[in-house]
C-alpha cells in the first residue's frame, strides 16, 4: 500500500490518494471522522481548531460501503479557506501585485522549516513553505491511518496511541485492563493521558506555557496488540519493520526521537537485564517473559505487543518570539508570530497511532498480501497456527 498527501494549511483542502487497499473492507466516513475528531481535540490547541470541524469525503475506491481494490481518494476541506482566498488564491496575479499580497513572511521562525525551505525552493515569501510544512497535513495522514486501522481490526490487531509525558511531567500510574480500556481512557482524557494526577499537572504546565507565550512538547506511546510473529525481515536493511516505523514516527511534524520498548534505557543496562526470555505454551505458542524490546527482535515482530515511543519538541511558533533574521533586509528581528497551538502532543498521539498502523498494515499486506480481505484473513489464521505450533 502507498499514499501521497497534498494540500496547504490555508488552501481549499487536503487530499490523499491511497493505493493498494484490499477489496472487501467495510469502510464508511464514520470510521475516519472519529479519528479526525480525536486529532483535533486535546488541551493546548489554538484557535484554528475552533474554526475547523474536520470531516472526510470519500471520493473513490468505495462502493456501497466496501472497498473495491481501486485507489481511494479522501478529501478534508479547510473551513478557514474562505478567509484566505486572496492570500492563498490559486489563479495567477499580475507581477506588480505580488508585493501587495498580504501576510507575506520574511522572518523565519527558529525551529521551523521556513528558512531551509525558502532557500531550497527559492521562495522570497516564506508562507510558501509554512503552508505545506504545517502540521495541518497530518489530518489526511490520520485519515489514511484510519483505513489501516480498519484493516488491522478485521485481523484482530489493535493500535492505540496515548500521551506519557508533557514537559517534565511523566505518567507514573498507567492502569488499564486491556487495549480497548486503554483506548477509552485515552479518549476520555483532555491530554490523552491515563494517569489522573499527571493529567492535571500536564494541563497546568500547558496553561503556564500558554501564559508565557511559550510552547511545550512531550512523549507519546503507541501500543499494537495481536501482531503475528515475523512481520518485517532481518535479511535486508530496508525490510526491517522497526526501521520503517522509526522513519514513520520521525516523519511526524516536530518529532525528534523514537524508542522501542525500554529504548535508550537498554544502552545503560547489562544484556542479562535487557533481553526478553522465551517461553512456550500450547495456548499462546511462543511468548516472552518481559517485553523490554517492545515487540521487535532482528527487525521482525516477535508476537509481543509493539511498544513505540516518540518525542515531540515544543512547537516552534511562539507568541514569545525568538531572534531571527529578516531575509529581505538581513536585519535581526524577533521571529514572526503566527497563530499557533501551545501544545499539540495529545493530537500527535493520534497521528503516531495512524502512522504506526499504516506501517503494520502495509507489512501485513506485503507478507500475506493478496487483493482480498477474506483471503488475507485466512492466510493470517493459518500463519498464526503455524507459528504457535512451530
Judged by CB under 6 A, the residue of 27, 75, 135, 355 near ligand EPS is 135
Are 143 and 149 in contact by the 8 Å Cβ rule? The answer is no
Q: State which residue, 15 or 139, has the beta carbon closest to ligand EPS.
A: 139
Which 181-240 positions form the footprint of ligand EPS (CB under 6 A)? none
- 29 alpha carbon, distance to own chain's centre: 19
Residue showing cell 488541551? 43
Tell me how far apart the alpha carbons of residues 125 and 236 are, in angstroms, rounded to a whole number: 43
Q: Residue 222 Cβ, how far from ligand EPS at the closest point, in Å? A: 18
9 binds ligand EPS (CB under 6 A): yes
Which 29-48 positions form the footprint of ligand EPS (CB under 6 A)? 46, 48
What's the Cα-to-Cα distance from 198 to each of 5, 83, 120, 205, 264, rounded to whole Å?
35, 38, 42, 10, 23
Are 126 and 108 in contact by the 8 Å Cβ rule? The answer is yes
Q: State which residue, 60 or 85, has the beta carbon closest to ligand EPS.
A: 85
Half-sphere exposure of 310 (CA within 13 A, CB side): 33
Q: State which residue, 48 or 183, has the beta carbon closest to ligand EPS.
A: 48
171 binds ligand EPS (CB under 6 A): no
114 binds ligand EPS (CB under 6 A): no
Are 9 and 78 in contact by the 8 Å Cβ rule? The answer is yes
Q: State which residue, 221 or 341, has the beta carbon closest to ligand EPS.
A: 341
Q: Residue 136 Cβ, how far from ligand EPS at the closest point, in Å? A: 4
Judged by CB under 6 A, the residue of 16, 106, 128, 139 near ligand EPS is 139
Instruction: Give, as one character, the DSSP assignment of residue 70.
Output: S
Judged by CB under 6 A, the residue of 341, 364, 368, 380 near ligand EPS is 341
Task: Extract the C-alpha cell encoding 104.
Answer: 507575506
349 binds ligand EPS (CB under 6 A): no
Judged by CB under 6 A, the residue of 132, 136, 150, 183 near ligand EPS is 136
Tell me how far apart the alpha carbons of residues 387 and 286 are, in angstroms, rounded to a whole number: 8
Tell me how far apart the alpha carbons of residues 142 and 150 are, in angstroms, rounded to a whole number: 12
339 binds ligand EPS (CB under 6 A): yes
Q: State which residue, 143 or 202, has the beta carbon closest to ligand EPS.
A: 143
Q: Residue 355 Cβ, how far from ligand EPS at the closest point, in Å? A: 15
Are 371 and 269 in contact by the 8 Å Cβ rule? The answer is no
Judged by CB under 6 A, the residue of 5, 16, 67, 134 near ligand EPS is 134
How many CB atoms within 10 Å of residue 50?
Answer: 10
Q: Residue 56 Cβ, how far from ligand EPS at the closest point, in Å? A: 13
What's the Cα-to-Cα distance from 97 to each of 7, 87, 128, rounded to whole Å?
24, 12, 16
Give the interface with ligand EPS as residue ranges (CB under 6 A).
9, 46, 48-49, 134-136, 139, 317, 338-341
Amino acid at each position: 500500500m502507498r499514499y501521497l498527501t497534498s494540500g496547504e494549511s490555508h488552501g481549499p483542502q487536503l487530499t490523499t490518494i491511497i493505493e493498494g487497499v484490499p477489496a472487501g473492507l467495510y469502510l464508511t466516513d464514520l470510521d475516519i471522522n472519529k479519528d479526525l475528531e480525536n486529532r483535533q481535540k486535546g488541551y493546548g490547541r489554538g484557535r484554528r481548531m475552533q474554526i475547523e470541524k474536520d470531516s472526510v469525503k470519500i471520493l473513490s475506491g468505495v462502493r456501497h460501503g466496501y472497498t473495491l481494490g481501486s485507489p481511494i481518494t479522501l478529501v478534508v476541506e479547510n473551513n478557514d479557506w474562505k478567509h484566505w482566498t486572496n492570500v492563498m488564491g490559486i489563479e495567477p496575479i499580475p507581477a506588480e501585485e505580488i508585493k501587495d499580497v498580504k501576510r507575506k513572511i520574511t522572518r523565519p521562525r527558529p525551529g521551523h522549516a521556513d528558512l531551509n525551505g525558502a532557500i531550497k525552493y527559492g521562495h522570497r515569501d516564506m508562507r510558501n513553505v509554512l503552508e505545506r510544512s504545517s502540521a495541518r497535513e497530518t489530518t489526511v495522514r490520520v485519515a489514511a491511518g484510519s483505513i489501516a486501522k480498519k484493516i488491522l481490526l478485521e485481523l484482530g490487531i489493535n493500535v492505540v496511541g496515548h500521551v506519557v509525558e508533557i514537559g517534565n511531567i511523566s505518567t507514573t500510574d498507567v492502569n488499564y485492563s486491556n487495549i480497548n480500556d486503554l483506548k477509552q481512557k485515552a479518549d476520555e482524557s483532555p491530554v490523552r493521558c491515563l494517569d489522573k494526577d499527571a493529567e492535571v499537572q500536564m494541563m497546568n504546565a500547558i496553561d503556564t506555557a500558554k501564559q508565557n507565550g511559550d510552547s511545550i512538547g512531550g512523549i507519546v506511546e503507541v501500543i499494537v496488540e495481536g501482531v503475528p510473529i515475523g512481520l518485517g525481515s532481518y535479511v535486508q536493511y530496508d525490510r526491517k519493520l522497526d526501521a520503517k516505523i522509526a522513519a514513520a514516527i520521525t516523519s511526524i511534524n516536530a518529532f525528534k526521537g523514537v524508542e522501542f520498548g525500554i529504548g535508550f534505557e537498554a544502552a545503560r543496562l547489562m544484556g542479562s537485564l535487557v533481553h526478553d526470555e522465551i517461553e512456550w505454551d500450547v495456548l499462546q505458542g511462543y511468548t516472552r517473559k518481559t517485553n523490554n524490546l517492545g515487540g521487535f527482535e532482528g527487525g521482525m515482530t516477535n508476537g509481543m505487543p509493539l511498544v513505540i515511543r516518540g518525542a515531540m519538541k515544543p512547537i516552534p511558533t511562539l507568541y514569545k518570539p525568538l531572534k531571527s533574521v529578516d531575509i529581505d533586509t538581513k536585519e535581526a528581528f524577533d521571529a514572526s508570530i503566527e497563530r499557533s497551538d501551545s501544545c499539540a502532543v495529545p493530537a500527535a498521539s493520534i497521528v503516531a497511532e495512524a502512522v504506526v498502523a499504516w506501517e503494520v498494515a502495509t507489512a501485513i499486506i506485503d507478507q500475506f498480501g493478496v487483493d482480498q480481505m477474506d483471503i488475507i484473513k485466512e492466510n493470517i489464521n493459518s500463519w498464526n497456527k503455524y507459528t504457535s505450533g512451530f
